[in-house]
Amino acid sequence: MVLEALKYMVLGMGIVFLFLYLMVVILNWQHKLVEKYFPQKEEPSATPSKRDKLKKVAAITAAIAHMKKSN
């Protein structure tokens, strides 16, 4: 029984390492592929965040107005 459990341990840790090691390899390889075939453009995700900031400012302005009213 204990021997068997030890075998399962070896098998289990082996597979866990195998799985995650393969994942590491593929992710590294994928990173290279992405960099090669889809080279970094000027990140478009920055622009919307600016827009978000403006939105926040607008929201804050409205909030100030609201606070005044409720005073």
Q: Determine the distance from the C-alpha atom of residue 5 to the mean position of all C-alpha atoms in its chain, rounded to a whole number.
A: 37
Token digits for 71? 């005073």
Binding residues among 5-24 for another protein as defined by CB under 8 A? 5-13, 15-24
Secondary structure letter of residue 39 according to DSSP? -
- Smallest separation, CB 31 to another protein (Å): 6
Question: Contact between 45 and another protein (CB under 8 A)?
Answer: yes
Question: Contact between 3 and another protein (CB under 8 A)?
Answer: yes
Counting runs of H as helices and runs of E as strands, what totals does the chain give?
2, 0
- Residue 52 binding result from a copy of itself, another protein, none, given CB thresholds of 5 to 8 Å by partner type: none
